[in-house]
Structure formats: C-alpha cells, structure tokens
Structure 1
C-alpha cells in the first residue's frame, strides 16, 4: 500500500537491518515464499555505472560502441554473497526527454556516479531483493553509437546488457577504460525488461531475439512493428519519419557522427509508404516464434500515438507460438498503468516479477489472463483473451433510406448497391460519427438496428472495401462506432484520460536524491453521444500489394482489406453498432495528393468482426424488443478531438 507523502519516513540502514532480522529470506527448508519483502536498505544500495560492449561500431569512429548501464542493487545481498535478479528499462529518453508522468531524468553526482533513477522501479524493488538497471540505448545520453529507431543498434545494445548480466558479454567500469566489470558476481542473470512506448518496444525486440536469461517482458503502450508506427498499408500516419525521431534522442556526440545513419533512415523509409528492408529489420511480429520470455502486455485502447494495432498483432503472434502471456487493456490513450490504476498495478507487477524472476509460486500464472477497463475505473477479467466463444463474423453493409446512411446486417445487400463519398481532409472520425445518421457527403455510414442485448467485440477486425476512385490516388479510413450515450475516459484531452493531482503517494523507499513519491491521478471523463472504438487506414494504391503502392486507374474498382485496431468493447443494449468508411481521417493519417470521390460496391464490401458468441450473438442482439440503456447526463457530441498527437513514442506526457 502507498505511504502518504505528508507522513513519509525515509527508510535508513538501521530500519532495513531490523526488517532483515524480522523478515528472513526464504531458505531451502522454510515454507515456499509467496512474496518478496522490503528487507534491504535502499539508502545503502550499491549505485554504479558500467559500460557494456555491443559488438557494433555504429558511429564509425573505429572503436566498438559501449552503452552506459546505470545500476542500483542491494548492498546487503552482495555482502552476504547472495545474487539477485534484474529489472531492466532500456530507453533513449533518460537524458533528452525524461520518463513518466513527471518527465524524470537520471541524475549523477560530481564524480558521475548515479544518484537518481526515474520512476519507482528502483525504490520499490531494490529493497525487495532486485537490482534495477537503466540502460541508455546506443547514441543516447552517455552511450556510444547512433540511434537507429528500432533497428539493430537499439535491439543489440539492449540485448548486449542481458548477455553481460549472464556472463556472456564484456563490461567496463569506465566508458573508455579497460578495467572489467563482472555482473555474475552479484546477478543471477534472470532479467525482466519493462518500459513504456519506445522502452517497451525495445523489450519486445530483445524478446524476439530469444536471448537466454530474459525471463519476462512488460511492454506498456509498445510498438510491435515500426512500419505500423509510421504507415498503415501505405497511408502515412505522420508527416515525418524515423530520421526525425533519431535526431530527437541522439546525444550531441551522436548528432555529430551519425549523418550516415540519418541518411539510411531517410532512404529506407520513403514517404510512399512502401515496405522496405529497413522495416523488415524493425518487425518484431515475424520473430514472435523466437520468444521464450513471458509477456505482460499493457495498452490503452484509445492510444492514438502507438495505436492499438500494435498490441493486437503482437498478442496474436505470441498466442500462435504458445508464449505465456497476460494483458491489461485500459480506456486511456498513451498512459502508464501507474497513472490509471496505481495500487492494483504495483501489486500485480510485484507478483509478476516475483513469479518469473524469483520463482515464487504465488498463483499469478493461474489467474485470469486479461483485465479490461469497461468504464472509467471499472474493470472486468477474462480467464482467456479473447474469450474462447469469440468467432469472426461477417457483417454486410447495405443501402438505407437516405444516401450515405445504410444498414449493417448479416445478410448481403441487394445486387448493384453502392454508396459514394468525397474525401474531405478537413474532417475526421469524430465529425463522421457525430453525423452518422445524416446523409453527409464525406462518408458512408452503415448502422445496425438498436441492440436488444449487449454485443461484445474482442480482438482485431478487418474491413474489405471495393472502391472505384475518380483520381489516381486515394486514402481510406474505416471506423467502428458505438452509437449511444456513455461516460468514458476523455482520451483526446490533455492527459489522454487522466488528470494529474497535486497530492503525492510513495511507492518504496526514498533518499535525498531519489524520491519514491509521485503525484496521484484520477480519471478524466467525458459524457459522449458516441464512441469510436476501433479504426484502420490504408492507401487504396496498395490494393494489389500491401507492401507496395501504385497509381490507381480512375473509373476502375479496386479491392483492399483494412486492418482495424484490436479492441475489447461492449456495445450496450439500446445502442447501435456503426461502420463508417471515409477518406482522410484528419490528424490520424495524412491526405492523398488529390481529393477523390469514391464509389463503394457494397456487394463486395464487408466487415469481419470478432464477436463474442459469433453470428448468433449478433442475430439475437438485433432482433426482438429493445431495452434501452440507462439514461445518462445529456451527452456532448463526442470527446475532445484527439489533435494533434506528436510522433514521439514515449515522450514525457505521452
């Protein structure tokens, strides 16, 4: 449980010694341990820096690159000859941008020794018998080399530290010196990687190498394929590429030496959106079969920075390869669970690491696989995710009483049915959804009957569209909308679903240079008339090849399948389910060179949705007597528009 900041007591060496006497380590003859206890002094912990060889020379200076590794570990364990496991966060952000909701950076004393570590991992876990290791990725902060944004430099520089922790690599006490540092003197080698956004992405990448000694990873709002961070089937999601991000995090030394890496990022990531060898290097999904670590996925379903497709395709690939896994899905945007479900998160993470790094049989591996936020601060669980009764179900759009306002049913539309819309780059998904029932010219909407019972979607959807453009280029968007009043986390506002308060609570032990106390948060909510809960985009020019675009032939139909973000959403009884197809989704994809008008062939257009209960569930929910949802406060038109979302995965407030 947290300690309120106003009554905080710094835990000193004497207190730690007393706790050590009262709560002894488990032995071979004692009862099996179920929870690590804070028996070690955080104040007296060993704090040191090591530089680890990566086997690379990314900056081409003729010397092998070494990455800086800042370590804090329990002194008493080392004095007694006890080895400890490692919790590791490898990040490009420790110097440039900070970590967490309060943008914390590493701090050092006059001799360059580490004093302050961002976040609470060190404060909470070091007293419980873990080491915490904070790695500066190559090219960032105090490390050599160049940042290559998810490429071999990122992954190998972090993997090299796991190897060193297991006695397979070389570490040194200084950046350029020759005095060796040996982790096997104090580390068991068992390592868990954790981190939000880019940090979690690196954890995914290292896990996908299958490196020995990596026991678990906890990716929070993490990327699974860097192509899908910048493009969606050829449609650009941001007006910049990885070269911008590399410049953003590179140290001054790296900026002076890494022009060749910058040029490689420019050349390898063309704005056409074509898939190149650069993206193959940065695709962790294809290497999921190599993963031997357990994986605890955390993601905001309304994350419009690292969008929800990332966790969906990673989760599916892990499942196909039998990887042990767990998942939390929130209603937030790009937010750490420490800031939307703090007490439960720390308790769960503690038990997860105890199980996978200390070997404690605490039952977490037998508990429900998934925690899903259904409403602000209201959670449900699933033994398996998606539920075993989930079945892909084909729904068919049809024409309605007015142009642009059609039906969504199990049965095919009448032969020859079409809908037409014109791309308007000034509008977005919220504009479309706010006028779902109106015949507006910029979208085609298809709406179910009011539901007589709840309908749950769980997993990833696809929408196949056959469209005839009148220009040589066109972008498409497809969104799923819950039409009905609700109170949700306001993911589009500052904080992306949370409000930061002034009161602090403490999570672990503190020193004068490293506080364990953090500002509390609460849910920021909005009353809405609809909720866009899944979305996907594509360049229609990729109709023949998802990895390479080509000019369209005006007047000719082209068929393409859009991948929609994974979700777990319940459309309540009394609401309606809508599929909306449009052009440019403003702020979320960039517009094409032209402003096309597109005609949809509805007989060749369909949505494949992961419905719990399958087609029978949809049939039951769209027939019979409607039981309206409970009335809510008068709804607004929708959440504050999510605009803009800067292309910085893992920035201090993202």
Structure 2
C-alpha cells in the first residue's frame, strides 16, 4: 500500500496554532498547556468528539496502544514526555491502520515510510511545539480509507458538534483547504430557468434552460459562495432505446473517395449567432424559487464541496427535459447554452422562476466565481465553455473531456467509434440526449422539427467519406484555445479507449500558448473518475485548487500541485511528478528491418484484410477474442497482420508523447485503411484498467452526507503476455490530411506518416516492443471484410518513439 499526497501546505508554527484554534482543537485553555503529555491527552480526547462524554472518550483512548505494553491513556498517566515512537504508533491507529496487521508497535516510523505518509521533523521526544506541529500534520495525513484525517473527523461529526453553537467561521479554511462546516441536511434545492440568446427550436422565443441549484442554507442570510457547475446532457435522462435504433451498421465496405484537393479554408468556418428573438418582458422580481427538486444522480466530488461552502449547479442544456431547444452534439449552440448559465451565476443574464410568468430571479447567493467539473460529455462542455473566455469561469476540472469531436468519431479520414460503442455517431448521441422526448406533450409539438434537425446532423457528420468538414470544424474547441482565461486542471486515463488520450494531449499542449495555469493528471484507468482512490489525494488537491481559484485563498495551489502527475503502469499506487507531457522528448528512430527486431524482417511484408465468414462472425460477437488473437504469436490472424518484435530491452524507458510510424505501403485495391498498434510484450501481472473496490461505501464526503466506494488500481491475479500501449488508424486516401482525398492506385507504394495515440508508458527492462500493422480494427473501424492485400516495404519504413530517461 502506498499513499501519495500532494496537497499538504507547508505551514509555519504560528499559523498552525491559529488554525488549530480556528477548528477548536486548541482551546484557549489548551493553548496555555506547557506539558506535552497533557496536551497530547487533550488532543486524543478531543479526537473522539465531546458529545460522547469524557468517560466514553477515555475508554476509546485506552483502545489505542502507545507502546507494546501500554495503551495511550496509561502512557499519558505514567510518562513525563511524548516519545516519537509512541506518537506515531497512536497516529497509525487513528489513521485506521491495525496493529500487527498493517504495522508493528516496535517500528511505526518504518511503516510511515513504507506507506508514504509524512512524518514531522521532530526529535525523539516531542516538546509542546513539536507536538502541535506533529498533530497538525497528522490531521492533514490521509487515512487507510482514502480521506485526510480531518476530513474523516468531519464525516464523523467533529464539525457538526458545533453547528448549533455558531462558533465556527463559515467558510473555514484549514491547511489551505475549505472545511466541512456546513450542515448538508439543510441544503436548499431550487430550480430556475435561464434565458439564453438561442432559439434552436425556431419557435420564435429564446430557449429557456432548466438549472438545478444546490446551495447552503446560510446563503439565505446573505452568505455568498462560489459555484461548481456541471453541464450534463444526461442529467434529465436519456433515450437509450431510440439511440439503439439509430445506431449505424458498421459491417459495411470501405468505399473509394473521389480524388480532391481541398484547402483548409474550405473546411473551416466562423460561427455567427443568428439574431435571437426579443428577450422576454420581465413582469416582476423575486428571490424565492418556485420549484424544488430531489437530487438523483450527482457527482461525489461536487457533494464533497457542498459541505465546504460551495454551491453546486447542474444543467442539461438545450434540447433536454424541461428546457427549450434541440440537441446539437457539441456545436457552438451547445457551448452558448453552457455559458448562459455561467452568465446568470455572475449576474450578467436573466433567469425566471418558470416558463410562463416571466418572474425574474437572480443568483444573489453567488460570489460570481465559477468552476466547471465533470467527466466525458460533462468535461467536454467545460472545455467548450472555457474556450469562449466567458467572464466568471475561474477554472475547469476537465476529466476525460473531448477537445475535438472529429477526433472522437473520426480518425484520419476513417469513420471510427469510441471503443465499446460501434455504430455511434453525432446523430445517435443527439437522439440519446434529446430528453424533451420524455415529456409527451412537449415532444408532440416539436417532433417534426426535431426529425428534420436530426437528418441535418446525419448529413453533416458524413459517414460516407469520414473527412473533416465544416460540421466538425464547428465542434473543434482546439481552434479557440487562445480565448481561454480559466485555469485548467485536466484529468485523463492513459487507457481510455472512449475519449482517447489525444483529447487531453492536444488540449494540454495547445494551452501552452496561453497565460493560464494548467495542470494535468494522467492515470492508468479507462473512462473513469479518480476522486475516490486510496493512493492519491485527489479530493484534497481539488480542494486546494478550488479554494485558491474561487475563494482567492493564497494556499500555494499553483506551486504544490504538480504540473504533470503520472501514475506509473508498473509499480502499483505510484504517482510520478513529471515536468511535462510530450515536451521535448529524445526521439528514437528505428528502421523496421534493421537489427533492432529479434528476427530479421523481410524487406517486403504483406497481410490481407479478409477473414473467413465464420471467423468474421465470431470476432464480431467476441471482440475480446479478436483482441487476444491479434496480439499472440500463434493465432488465426497471422495472415491478417504484420507482427514485428524487438529484441529484449536492457534499460527501462518512459515513452513520453506521440509515437509515429513512417510506412511505405500499398493496397491491392483503390481503397485501404491501416491500423498500427504498439505492444508491450513480456509476461507480467499488470495493473487493472478498471479500478478494484477496496471498501464499499467507505468514504463519507461530509457528515451524514453521500458516500462513495474506496477504489484502487490493483495488480491482476493473472499473468498476461502482452499489453496494448497505443494505436492509430488512417484511411490511405487521407495521407495528406483528414480533409483531402488522395489518389490510391492499386499495388502502388505510398509514403504514410501515422501518429498513434499519445501515451506516457513505463517500458520495463526485459520486455519487448511489438509493432502490429493490420487493416480492420474490429473494435472501432468499419468492418467491411473486404478482399484487400497490403504490402509494406519494411526497408523503407520506420518507427519514431519519443523517449524520456527512466526516473
């Protein structure tokens, strides 16, 4: 077990005293104590929450062992000084670690070191100053169950015992982070309808957007708080069956494209908002929302902040249940419906209490500082909003967000799908999220318009050519990065085969030309949240970050949070502070038939794309089997691939950035696609890409608030021979770019440069690098099963690997 912490703020002793007084751990009487043993006893009794009564708390302290022969209370009765060993024996138990199971009472400091827990710089015996500093650090240390100790105490009611006394400041900050001093049982749940500048359903009225607000009760009495805003098109429900009916058939042939020379200017366009209808005439003002709601599906990170003096807002956007308009899958209209909510939160836009009465209501409780949160489509809209430079958006935590919709549904002139969603496209996603269908009366009036609009999306996305066009350019946020003013915290899985790593990579590197502060966390998972992991203090980092950005607390967030934090793929629970992702690597260029490869490759190698019909049907139904057979040496797919293996590498390396291949390749037909995968070959127990639940419902994000499972990436029980590192695809008619159709003459060799998905990969010594070259990717590309033979001139082909020396 390893616990990594990046959000502990180094604090001077004088400040520590003031902060311990603020959270009531150091009472005025205790602050005068000059005996370190008595002060330690005070802290231990205080730990067990005063409403239990002193006798109960004494017994709990007796349940802690300070030495192999004395419990903690007996120790404070018989010793005149607090030894470092006794303090840290007790500290481990307070953190949830068990004697003889997790550590031994003779070696607590070794356990702290092995676990990665911080140890105060104190002597073998602690005086009062040492004790205060060590206790403060302990409160900021992570427990065995994935929370800082002070957050654990808050979940047990430490702050709640003072709710009725009004003695705690609201908000309250401790070690630079907002504390759970707000009673979540009294949260207010209101609904308002923000008026946008859009009329996407063309009914002659501006689209109203349903917004759900959760805020502390104290905001009714004048407290102004910052806002965490999650734009979730799924928030009001989805039309899954309708989406399934619209899903496209991918078992169709690749067809030739008409050769064309297209300029970049021809496929790019600037968005112009149509003149909106007149704004609604306000008939009155109120500060009382008419409608309430019951929170169903929320994000536990947002819930965590509700107890800490933040409001949380959810909005599904245009075309969703109880809102006006239609879905557009990532277009500028969707972006503007997202930023309209921010403008209301910052006082620059009107909202109403309902659709009819035109009674205006302000976000009077907002301090006009907004952050956006969320994963996938939610993180995508956070990126989209940030690229407008909208006022008041101070930061976005973008988790697995799309930065360019073309790269989500297309790749180098090929129609592709996010892994696991073969046949999905922009129109399918629009249909699935058009939750206005869920209200029959509302849908009745807009059904014909929606069906026409959906046909326009289907036409614009162009599944025939797979090329970049103006439809996709309207959904490319990367071209507007210079407008970003919000500081960005990007989180992405290096094994995410839904929103692939390139979305984070291009966003990260594109932001380098701006003045914003940017951070990135790369984990070993797929398309997941990481705020409930044992090995990383993500909640605390997010707290440090958002307290700095939204409350303007000078807490060193920009300096303490690593610029690039990467989870290692070899050593479990290991997170490495890197300087960059893809910045100035050491390039290693290898010809595909030189001595690097274990077996001398033929100068001309070939493979065919067609499978026997029975095998094709088998793989179509069992993608896991296809993935396995594509990697292993003895396989029914030996004729459908070129498989090159390097000699064993002698030194470990980091692959840092975007691997590419330069291939000289031909197709037997006037059509063709190429897929290239980089593989780690070597028997090993590898980290799971889906997290393991360590303790169900172990994390309480506030006092009697929502709970979350404690998770972690763990080593698989099975030894596997290989792992996919990265992959890329291309239509051979898009050798120049993704919008121009090049000529493809049968059996003619062409030069192709193909960039694979960006990665950060620890390649262990003793393993081999494998390179697979093939055609159809059953997971993501069209599956025409066509009779095509490809040839690759290995002597005129090479792989380009960005390396960073092993750290």
**TM-score, normalized by length of structure 2?**
0.67
C-alpha distance in structure 2 between counterparts of 1:438 and 1:146, whole Å: 47
CA gap 1:498/1:97 in 2 versus in 1, 3 angstroms = farther
1:252-281 per-position Cα deviation (integer Å, ceiling 9, x unaligned): 146724223211211111112011111001
Contact residue 300 and residue 330 of structure 1 kept, 8 A: yes
Question: Which residue of the other structure, out of 62, 68, 73, is the alignment partner of 2:215?
Answer: 73
Residue 326 of structure 1, CA deviation:
1.3
Question: Which residue of the other structure, out of 221, 226, 229, is the alignment partner of 2:405?
Answer: 226
Contact residue 582 and residue 657 of structure 2 kept, 8 A: no
Q: Does 1:363 align with 2:505?
A: no
Contact residue 295 and residue 323 of structure 1 kept, 8 A: yes
What does 1:337-348 correspond to in 2, within 5 Å? 337-341=530-534, 344-348=537-541
C-alpha distance in structure 2 between counterparts of 1:612 and 1:267, whole Å: 44
What does 1:260-339 correspond to in 2, within 5 Å? 260-271=452-463, 272-339=465-532
Counterpart residue number, 1:123: 303
C-alpha distance in structure 2 between counterparts of 1:247 and 1:24, whole Å: 44
Structure with greater Cα Rg: 2
Residue 484 of structure 1, CA deviation:
0.9
Residue 471 of structure 1, CA deviation:
0.9
1:398 is paired with a residue whose SS is: coil
Counterpart residue number, 1:448: 646
Residue 481 of structure 1, CA deviation:
1.0
Contact residue 565 and residue 578 of structure 2 kept, 8 A: no
C-alpha distance in structure 2 between counterparts of 1:586 and 1:25, whole Å: 53
Counterpart residue number, 1:374: 568
Counterpart residue number, 1:173: 353
Contact residue 301 and residue 531 of structure 2 kept, 8 A: no
Gaps spanning 5+ residues in structure 2: where? 1-142, 240-288, 418-422, 620-625
Between Structure 1 and Structure 2, the one with more helix by share is 2
1:56 is paired with a residue whose SS is: coil
Q: Does 1:40 align with 2:40?
A: no
Counterpart residue number, 2:744: 552
Contact residue 40 and residue 128 of structure 1 kept, 8 A: yes
Question: Which residue of the other structure, out of 697, 709, 727, is the alignment partner of 1:519?
Answer: 709
CA gap 1:540/1:460 in 2 versus in 1, 3 angstroms = same
Q: Does 1:574 align with 2:716?
A: no
1:19-71 per-position Cα deviation (integer Å, ceiling 9, x unaligned): 75134657xxxx99712112222222222111111211111222111111111
What does 1:356-435 correspond to in 2, within 5 Å? 356-367=549-560, 368-375=562-569, 377-386=572-581, 390-398=585-593, 417-424=603-610, 426=616, 428=626, 430-435=628-633
C-alpha distance in structure 1 between counterparts of 2:771 and 2:547, whole Å: 44
Contact residue 629 and residue 637 of structure 2 kept, 8 A: no
2:184 is paired with a residue whose SS is: coil
1:258 is paired with a residue whose SS is: helix
C-alpha distance in structure 2 between counterparts of 1:12 and 1:484, whole Å: 50
Question: Which residue of the other structure, out of 91, 95, 98, is the alignment partner of 2:236?
Answer: 95
C-alpha distance in structure 1 between counterparts of 2:505 and 2:374, whole Å: 18
1:314 is paired with a residue whose SS is: helix
C-alpha distance in structure 1 between counterparts of 2:299 and 2:652, whole Å: 40
CA gap 1:597/1:281 in 2 versus in 1, 3 angstroms = same
C-alpha distance in structure 2 between counterparts of 1:195 and 1:121, whole Å: 9
C-alpha distance in structure 2 between counterparts of 1:400 and 1:82, whole Å: 70
2:385 is paired with a residue whose SS is: helix
1:451 is paired with a residue whose SS is: coil
Which stretch of the first structure deviates more once superposed, 369-378 or 564-573?
369-378
CA gap 1:348/1:118 in 2 versus in 1, 3 angstroms = same
Residue 235 of structure 1, CA deviation:
1.7
When the two chains are superposed, the root-mean-square deviation of aligned CA atoms in Å is: 3.3
CA gap 1:112/1:363 in 2 versus in 1, 3 angstroms = closer
Contact residue 19 and residue 38 of structure 1 kept, 8 A: no
Counterpart residue number, 1:60: 202
C-alpha distance in structure 1 between counterparts of 2:634 and 2:162, whole Å: 62
C-alpha distance in structure 2 between counterparts of 1:281 and 1:159, whole Å: 16
CA gap 1:429/1:77 in 2 versus in 1, 3 angstroms = same
Residue 559 of structure 1, CA deviation:
2.5
Contact residue 588 and residue 801 of structure 2 kept, 8 A: yes
Contact residue 339 and residue 498 of structure 1 kept, 8 A: no
C-alpha distance in structure 1 between counterparts of 2:550 and 2:634, whole Å: 50
1:88 is paired with a residue whose SS is: strand
Residue 364 of structure 1, CA deviation:
2.5
1:259 is paired with a residue whose SS is: helix
Between Structure 1 and Structure 2, the one with more strand by share is 1
Question: Which residue of the other structure, out of 666, 683, 687, is the alignment partner of 1:468?
Answer: 666
Contact residue 136 and residue 142 of structure 1 kept, 8 A: no
Contact residue 503 and residue 519 of structure 1 kept, 8 A: yes
C-alpha distance in structure 1 between counterparts of 2:563 and 2:146, whole Å: 29
1:484-506 per-position Cα deviation (integer Å, ceiling 9, x unaligned): 12222343xxxxx1244772124
Counterpart residue number, 1:538: 730
Q: Does 1:611 align with 2:803?
A: yes
Counterpart residue number, 2:425: 241
**TM-score, normalized by length of structure 1?**
0.81
Counterpart residue number, 1:483: 681
Aligned length: 582
Contact residue 36 and residue 128 of structure 1 kept, 8 A: yes
1:21 is paired with a residue whose SS is: coil
1:143-201 per-position Cα deviation (integer Å, ceiling 9, x unaligned): 21111111123211111111111122111111333111112x22121111011100000
Contact residue 390 and residue 612 of structure 1 kept, 8 A: yes
CA gap 1:261/1:301 in 2 versus in 1, 3 angstroms = same
CA gap 1:478/1:501 in 2 versus in 1, 3 angstroms = same
1:164 is paired with a residue whose SS is: helix
Counterpart residue number, 1:647: none
C-alpha distance in structure 2 between counterparts of 1:61 and 1:176, whole Å: 15
Counterpart residue number, 1:187: 366
2:756 is paired with a residue whose SS is: strand
C-alpha distance in structure 2 between counterparts of 1:405 and 1:141, whole Å: 60
CA gap 1:9/1:401 in 2 versus in 1, 3 angstroms = closer
C-alpha distance in structure 2 between counterparts of 1:567 and 1:68, whole Å: 39
Residue 117 of structure 1, CA deviation:
5.4
